[in-house]
Every structure is written in structure tokens, then in C-alpha cells.
Structure 1
Amino acid sequence: MQANTVLAVLGLAMASSACAMAETENLADPATASLTGEACPDVGERAYFFWMQPRSAEPGDEISLSPYWTDMPGSYNDLPPGCVGDLEAFPEDAVTFDRQDDGLAIASISADAEPGTRVRLEATYRGEYALNGIVDIYREEENPLVGLWRQAGDSCPPESAVRELVFTGGNEMSVTWTPFEVYKDYWADYQYDPQTGAFSFEVEGGNQIPEDIVAAGTAQVDGDRLVFKDVFFGTPRQAEGGCRATFVR
């Protein structure tokens, strides 16, 4: 009788230990949410996302996966990062995941990721609402255009300087004269040869597309300066003339 009691106690202890180990392993899994229940507010059927537009990253970069929701353009409402789980990447070998002590998930781009690869990160919030983010892989030495530029147009006609010229690692670009929330005047695909400087773009759509665009020429990056030759992004309707000034970061 006494032996049976000892065995039963040992069995319960082993089961309890196994459950504790399972819970520890579960929490250690970077793809698993670290928060649940009331710690994760339920805002209902909204649009959930990590970021709205594709972002660019180089091999070896680390990206914080902060979740947001919105129910109107330009509205970004943050959520507890520890409530994000079921993390996946496509292609899966392009990214590994880790998680900080505060629950924030980190996506690390593989050092072997090929430039030109488009990575889709997927996850769930509270285990029920899907969210994602797109990452375009590039190398700065192969495409120094990537990033946000603005025209140093103090000597240009009023309202003619481009205030946001954005290039992505996925060979997409946008032009905006008067930035407001997520508004863009027009967007395009671009081609750039860093060896020769040859640059061209093809407009894909927009809210304001000037008729005097010159979409081919050369581009030269010199530190934080970007100089175009022959290329002209157009004269916006609110300006009396165009601006051909140098761009800066």
C-alpha cells in the first residue's frame, strides 16, 4: 500500500514536471504568443498589419514586428506585441524569429537571403486575426537609391519641390509633392544600373500624374545627395513651374 502511494506521488510529480516543461518550451517558441486573455484587447474585425507598404531590408537585418490595427486611412493603433503568434515566413528559409523578454517578436533576415527576394511575414493577433508584412531584400551597394529622399528646392517655384521620393528594394517608387498620411501623387516601377547610372521608370498609377514627366536618364548617389540628369518627375498642378533641384536624404 505504501509502495503504491509512493509510486502515485512520483507519477503525479513526473506529470506535473512534464506539463511545466511543455509550458516552458511553448513560451520559448518565438512563433508562439507570450500574452493571452485580458492582456490582449479584442478590437474586433479590423485591418491588422505590421506595416502598410512593403519595406526594404538587407541580409542580416533585424526587424521588430510591432502589430497595429486600423479602421480608416492614416490611422495606426498599436497593440501589445506579445499577443502576436503563429509567426511564419515565406520563403521560410529567408527569416528566423526570436522574441524579446517584453514579448516583441524579431524577424532576422538570413545572411544568405538573395537580393530581389520578396518575403511575406504572416502571423495572428490573439490567435484569430491575421496580419502580415512584406519585406523586399536588397543590398545597398547594388542599389543605393533605396530609401526616402526630398528635393532641396528652396530656389524652385513654390510647391514644386518633391517632398517624398521613395525607392524600395523591390524596384518600386513613389513621388509626392505634398505629403499627407498615406497619400502619394503617383507610383511607378523603376530600373537602375549602379555601374552606368542609367535610370528609368514607368508610371503605374496615381492621384496626380503630370504630363511633362521625363522618365529616363541617369542617377548618381553621392553620400546623402542624389542627382538626376535628364530625368524630371513633372510639374504638379499647384505649382507654376517645375523643380530640378538635387535630392537629399
Structure 2
Amino acid sequence: MARFSKVCMKKSGFCLAGLLLAACANPPEERAAPAAPVGCAPPSEFGGYIFWLEPPAVLPGASIDLTPWFTRRPGMVEPVPPACLEDVAISGPATLGPGGRTILIDADAAPGAAIQLQGRVGESSLSGRMLVYLEEALPLVGTWAQPEAACAASGAEPVRELIFHPDGTFSLTWTPFEIYKDYWGGYAFEDGRLQLSPEDGNHIPADAAFTGTAELVGGALRLPPGLFGSPRQGTACAEPFSR
């Protein structure tokens, strides 16, 4: 080592040139850029990306894993690998969890608060919205349906989709197809009494009372068939709803 240093001191120009040549001859290894996730290309040139069809209602302290979907037309969706979702940004009482694709709702999030989401799949952007609610204050919030087999056994047509939102709106559908709904509007539930106030629809039953007793027993919702009326074909089912 001492001899090498001495030679270098005498011939510093040659040593410097040698070091430069060595650096050029052995460049540092470059790491390859991470490959793009497989299956992130749009499955069609027509359509776009969404987070969900119906804005979800969330409880304080909840954790929501984000999954993007591709829709070619309203109501028809195809799953997209979660790894394709990038650059997620949120506003409202929530934080982004590890990995950047999980939403952690604040434990003290106020009922009625809105959480806005934005993200990107490839060059396409997508956005969504969630509403915070308290179950004890709004026990009907969620998607309910009557049992197919039990209703069929009695020769009745089940309601396959009854959705109550935390903003006081609802929709009811006997046979969901794409974005079709039978009717929708506002609702009020107080002291065991449910009031539906249809605002519009494709089929608003003429025989519906739109008001009546609603019982929540063991996770089941019991509504008298006369409250929501009869379908276009067949008779209304009296079986309880479940989520």
C-alpha cells in the first residue's frame, strides 16, 4: 500500500487517469424500474373507472380497502387489480393507511361528514364520496333484501334491493338491472315508524301506503307489504329483510 501511494504521488497524473478509466470500465449497476402491474390497461376504449356504484356509508373508526372498477356502461362493472390504483388523495375526517389504498375513518368523525376521494389508474382519474353515520342514530342505513326462496315458496316477488342512505334518501327495486330502480326519494324513521316519500321512479305502486311500522329484530327488518306496495308483476312479499 505504501509503495502504491509513493508511485501515485510521483505520477499523480497517471493515477488519476487510471482511476477515471476504471470508473468508466465498471459503471455502477442501475436498478431496473419496477414493472407496471399486469392488467392495468383499460379493458375497453369505451367507459371509465369508478370506486363504487352506490356511495358507501361508513362508521367512525372503520377501515375501507379501496378497489377500483371499470365500467363500460352504467351498472356494469369489472374488477381492476388494486395495485393499479395510485396517487390516492383524501379530504375529510380520514387518513390514508399503509400501502396508500386503505382509508381509515377518524374515530371521532362527526355524523354526516363527507369524505372525498381521488385516485388514478394509468392516465385515468377517478373520484368518490363516503358519508359518516352513527348506527344508533340511523339504524336503517345499508342495503336490504328479502329472501328469494322464502318469497318464491309463497308465490311472491321479493324486493331485492332496498337502500337507505345516511343523507335521508332511499331507493327500492324488485329486480335490479344496471342502474334501474323502481322508485326513490326521502325517508324518515322515528319511534318505530317509517315514512317513505317517493320523489320519482319507473314504477311507483298505486297500492303503496308509504308509511307504517318498521321493526328491527335480531338484525332483520320487518315491513308490512302494504308499506312499499306491489311489483309490476306478481304480489308483494311479506318476508323480513336482511342486510
Is the pair's TM-score, using the shorter chain for normalization, greater than 0.5? yes
Q: Report the 3-state secondary structure (helix = DSSP H, G, I; strand = E; otherwise coil) of the residue aligned with 2:83.
A: helix
For 1:125 and 1:209, the matched residues in 2 are separated by 39
Does the 8 Å CA contact 1:137/1:170 hold for their aligned counterparts? no
Give the aligned partner of residue 23 of structure 2.
none
* Distance apart, 1:168 and its partner CA: 2.3
For 2:196 and 2:47, the matched residues in 1 are separated by 35
Q: 1:82 to 1:60 in 2, by over 3 A?
A: same
Does the 8 Å CA contact 1:59/1:112 hold for their aligned counterparts? yes
* Distance apart, 1:83 and its partner CA: 2.9
* Distance apart, 1:111 and its partner CA: 0.9
Does the 8 Å CA contact 2:207/2:229 hold for their aligned counterparts? yes
Give the aligned partner of residue 101 of structure 2.
105
Higher relative contact order (CA 8 A, sep 6+): 1
Q: Does 1:227 align with 2:222?
A: yes
The letter for the 2-side match of 1:68 is W
Mapping of 1:1-249 within 5 angstroms? 37=36, 39=38, 41-43=40-42, 44=45, 46-91=47-92, 94-100=93-99, 105-126=101-122, 128-151=123-146, 154=151, 158-193=155-190, 196-228=191-223, 232-239=227-234, 241-249=235-243
Identical pairs, percent: 35
Does the 8 Å CA contact 1:50/1:67 hold for their aligned counterparts? yes
1:61-100 deviations in Å (ceiling 9; x for gaps): 1111111111123332222322322322233xx1101234
Does the 8 Å CA contact 1:156/1:242 hold for their aligned counterparts? no
* Distance apart, 1:55 and its partner CA: 0.9
Q: Point out the more displaced range, 208-217 or 143-152.
A: 143-152
For 1:76 and 1:218, the matched residues in 2 are separated by 36
Q: 1:108 to 1:160 in 2, by over 3 A?
A: same
For 1:145 and 1:68, the matched residues in 2 are separated by 27
The letter for the 2-side match of 1:178 is T
Q: 1:218 to 1:118 in 2, by over 3 A?
A: farther
Could you say what the CA RMSD is over the residues aligned between the two structures, in angstroms?
3.1
* Distance apart, 1:45 and its partner CA: 6.0
* Distance apart, 1:227 and its partner CA: 2.3
Q: 1:230 to 1:67 in 2, by over 3 A?
A: closer
Does the 8 Å CA contact 1:83/1:125 hold for their aligned counterparts? yes
Q: 1:159 to 1:134 in 2, by over 3 A?
A: farther
The structure number with the bigger radius of gyration is 2
* Distance apart, 1:159 and its partner CA: 4.1
Does the 8 Å CA contact 1:224/1:248 hold for their aligned counterparts? yes
Q: 1:238 to 1:67 in 2, by over 3 A?
A: same
Q: Point out the more displaced range, 209-218 or 59-68.
A: 209-218
TM-score by length of 2: 0.74
* Distance apart, 1:108 and its partner CA: 0.8
Q: Report the 3-state secondary structure (helix = DSSP H, G, I; strand = E; otherwise coil) of the residue aligned with 1:112.
A: coil
Q: 1:173 to 1:59 in 2, by over 3 A?
A: same
Give the aligned partner of residue 31 of structure 1.
none
Runs of 4+ in 1 over 4 A off after TM superposition: 35-40
1:19-51 deviations in Å (ceiling 9; x for gaps): x9xxxxxxxxxxxxxx77464633256321111
For 2:37 and 2:117, the matched residues in 1 are separated by 26
